[in-house]
């Protein structure tokens, strides 16, 4: 198979560049800045364009009630559970052009290549573009795959509100998806546990290891466990000139201490796999001459060991108790998600290793510290992921970059693996 697979590298490179033009971000000089928030006009344009590409190649296209897109190549045994691949095309503010997109356009290119090679797959091969892998708009990532795997209750999902809008104007997912044309019942998104025979996701590494080692490809053996929390700190606001310092309960000063406590406890595990980030900080009323009365922080905390992640949370909560007493503020905690890690299927890892061997590659087996829709697909299907190097390990930035050669190699390995799995 390896010799027959001829990926159209110029087309893939040019399609990645075209997809990057569907962006809200201003151009930058150090790369390609992409902002494509779920159900924004650019996201909707990107979806329409992807569907056109897939239709032009004769694949069947459908989307579900949350907007997950399914691009299907029906096999000679259409009732056999399909082999599937995919990723996401939404992008966080000021991100790059490879995160997720390589798995979607690369997956499409893999299917086209196999079709062109004359393969007639026994199992259907399906490409999935997931809705809102990124948490930007609704505060929680992997919306599409959480619903598909039955991890998120459909009613709770529909009630999710825009995370970065004021509480009185934030729209719900139900409102936003309806306006985007996705009106079905979210309960219909869930797939049965044997719907897919196997699931593969191609993605950039988003870390430095492959590049550092000069290894062109990684096989993910497990995905770290992410969690998200929202803290609301309420103090006492007032005039920045007139409210005397000893009388203050400044919510932002308390938030600053909390952020540093989070960093301290994440570092205190002395384990490289513990990471904690406060990535947003909304200050109310947000005026230079007004003492902050309320602050909302979003915390992203991850670990390969969920027990260790929870012990960091417990240490943070103890500091919160002290902070409350010392500063006289109220601090409330809202859990957004606390997910378990996922393990790749040993069979799929082995199959990918075999495919790599036919391409003359010794892949690195590795943990994914970033989360992916595969984390949730693992609950309903055997999964594995293929990583390709990205320059300096950079991701979620405009200077994110993967070479056409690495991207093409990833697609080649993906295509060979899909072909093997489709005949199982």
Question: Based on CB atoms, which residue is closest to ligand GLV, 277 or 290?
Answer: 277
Question: Based on CB atoms, which residue is closest to ligand GLV, 85 or 234?
Answer: 85
Stretch (H or E) spanning 114 = helix 101-116
Question: Based on CB atoms, which residue is closest to Mn ion, 123 or 372?
Answer: 372
**Binding residues for ligand GLV restricted to 263-282, rule: CB under 6 A:** none
Residue 235 interface partner, choices Mn ion, ligand GLV, none, CB cut-off 5-8 Å depending on type: none
What lies within 8 Å, CB to CB, of 287 at 6+ separation is: none
Q: Which of 39, 70, 371, 387 binds ligand GLV (CB under 6 A)?
A: 371
Nearest-CB residue to Mn ion?
Answer: 100
Q: Are 72 and 185 in contact (CB under 8 A)?
A: no
Q: Does 370 bind Mn ion (CB under 5 A)?
A: yes
d(CA 340, CA 11): 38
Question: Based on CB atoms, which residue is closest to Mn ion, 257 or 300?
Answer: 300
Q: Are 312 and 269 in contact (CB under 8 A)?
A: yes
- The distance of closest approach from Cβ of residue 371 to ligand GLV in the complex, given in angstroms and rounded to an integer, is 4
- The distance of closest approach from Cβ of residue 92 to ligand GLV in the complex, given in angstroms and rounded to an integer, is 7
Residue 198 interface partner, choices ligand GLV, Mn ion, none, CB cut-off 5-8 Å depending on type: none
Q: Are 276 and 299 in contact (CB under 8 A)?
A: yes
Residue 109 interface partner, choices Mn ion, ligand GLV, none, CB cut-off 5-8 Å depending on type: none
Q: Does 201 bind ligand GLV (CB under 6 A)?
A: no
In the stretch 145-184, what mask flags binding to ligand GLV with x, by CB under 6 A?
----------------------------------------
Q: Which of 134, 162, 211, 250 binds ligand GLV (CB under 6 A)?
A: 134
Q: Does 99 bind Mn ion (CB under 5 A)?
A: yes
Tokens, residue 185: 């019942």
Q: Does 144 bind ligand GLV (CB under 6 A)?
A: no
Q: Which of 86, 141, 382, 398 binds ligand GLV (CB under 6 A)?
A: 141
Q: Are 100 and 89 in contact (CB under 8 A)?
A: yes
Please identify, among the stretches 16-24, 64-72, 94-102, 107-115, the one whose residues bind Mn ion according to the rule CB under 5 A. Answer: 94-102
Task: Name the nearest CA neighbour of 91 among 155, 20, 26.
Answer: 20
Q: Does 100 bind Mn ion (CB under 5 A)?
A: yes
Q: Does 103 bind Mn ion (CB under 5 A)?
A: no
Q: Are 115 and 418 in contact (CB under 8 A)?
A: no
* Bridging pattern class, strands 238-239 and 290-291: antiparallel
Helix (H, G, I), strand (E, B) or coil at 140: coil
Q: Are 63 and 54 in contact (CB under 8 A)?
A: no
Using CB under 6 A, count the residues that bind ligand GLV. Answer: 4
d(CA 299, CA 273): 16
Q: What does each C-alpha distance from 27 to 18, 24, 35, 90 come to in angstroms?
A: 14, 9, 11, 18
Q: Binding residues for ligand GLV, per CB under 6 A?
A: 134, 141, 370-371
């Amino acid at each position: 198979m390896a010799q027959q697979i001829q990926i159209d590298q110029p087309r893939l490179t040019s399609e990645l560049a075209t997809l990057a033009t569907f962006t809200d971000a201003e151009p930058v000089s150090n790369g390609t800045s992409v902002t494509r928030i779920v159900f924004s006009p650019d996201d909707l344009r990107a979806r329409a364009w992807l569907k056109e590409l897939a239709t032009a190649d004769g694949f069947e296209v459908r989307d579900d009630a949350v907007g997950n897109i399914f691009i299907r190549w029906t096999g000679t045994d259409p009732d056999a559970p399909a082999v599937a691949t995919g990723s996401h095309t939404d992008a966080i503010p000021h991100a790059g052009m490879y995160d997720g997109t390589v798995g979607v356009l690369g997956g499409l290119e893999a299917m086209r290549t196999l079709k062109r090679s004359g393969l007639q797959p026994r199992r259907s091969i399906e490409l999935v573009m997931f809705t809102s892998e990124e948490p930007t708009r609704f505060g929680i990532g992997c919306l599409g795959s959480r619903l598909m795997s039955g991890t998120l209750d459909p009613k709770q999902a529909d009630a999710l509100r825009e995370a970065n809008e004021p509480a009185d104007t934030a729209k719900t997912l139900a409102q936003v998806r309806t306006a985007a044309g996705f009106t079905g019942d979210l309960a219909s998104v869930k797939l049965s546990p044997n719907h897919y025979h196997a699931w593969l996701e191609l993605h950039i590494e988003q870390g430095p290891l492959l590049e550092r080692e000069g290894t062109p490809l990684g096989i993910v053996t497990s995905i770290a466990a992410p969690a998200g929390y929202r803290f609301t700190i309420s103090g006492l606001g007032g005039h920045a000139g007139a409210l005397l310092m000893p009388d203050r309960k400044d919510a932002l000063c308390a938030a600053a201490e909390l952020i540093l406590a989070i960093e301290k406890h994440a570092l205190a595990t002395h384990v490289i796999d513990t990471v904690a980030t406060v990535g947003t900080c909304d200050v109310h009323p947000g005026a230079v001459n007004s003492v902050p009365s309320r602050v909302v922080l979003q915390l992203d905390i991850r670990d390969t060991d969920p027990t260790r992640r929870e012990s960091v949370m417990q240490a943070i909560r103890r500091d919160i108790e002290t902070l409350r007493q010392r500063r006289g503020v109220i601090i409330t905690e809202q859990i957004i998600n606390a997910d378990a890690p996922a393990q790749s299927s040993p069979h799929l890892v082995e199959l990918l290793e075999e495919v790599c061997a036919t391409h003359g590659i010794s892949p690195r087996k590795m943990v994914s510290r970033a989360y992916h829709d595969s984390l949730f697909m693992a609950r309903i299907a055997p999964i594995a992921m293929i990583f390709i190097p990205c320059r300096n390990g950079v991701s979620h930035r405009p200077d994110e970059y993967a070479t056409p050669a690495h991207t093409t190699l990833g697609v080649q390995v993906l295509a060979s693996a899909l072909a093997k799995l489709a005949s199982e």
